[in-house]
């Protein structure tokens, strides 16, 4: 029997493009955070690829957005 598909949803909307690389929280309100994939962490700048993907996801989620 194949393994069950599993995914974790962290956000109902795409995080801000400049949010933490690991959890998406903005730098000004981050402090120390714990998440399953990264453990305890401080704010870390997102990669350029993450920024672009977040911008595209936010744009696509807008009413009438272009995907």
Taking only the tens place, the pLDDT of each residue in 11-63 is 678 899 999 999 999 999 999 999 988 999 999 999 999 999 999 998 988 76
pTM of the model: 0.71
- 65 vs 20: which has the higher pLDDT: 20
How many other C-beta atoms lie within 10 A of the C-beta of residue 22?
20
Distances (CA, A) of 61 to 24, 56, 67: 17, 9, 8
């Amino acid at each position: 029997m194949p393994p069950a598909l599993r995914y974790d949803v962290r956000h109902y909307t795409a995080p801000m493009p400049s949010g933490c690389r690991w959890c998406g929280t903005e730098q000004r309100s981050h402090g120390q955070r714990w998440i399953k994939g990264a453990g305890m962490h401080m704010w870390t700048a997102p990669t350029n690829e993450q920024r672009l993907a977040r911008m595209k996801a936010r744009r696509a989620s807008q009413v009438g957005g272009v995907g």
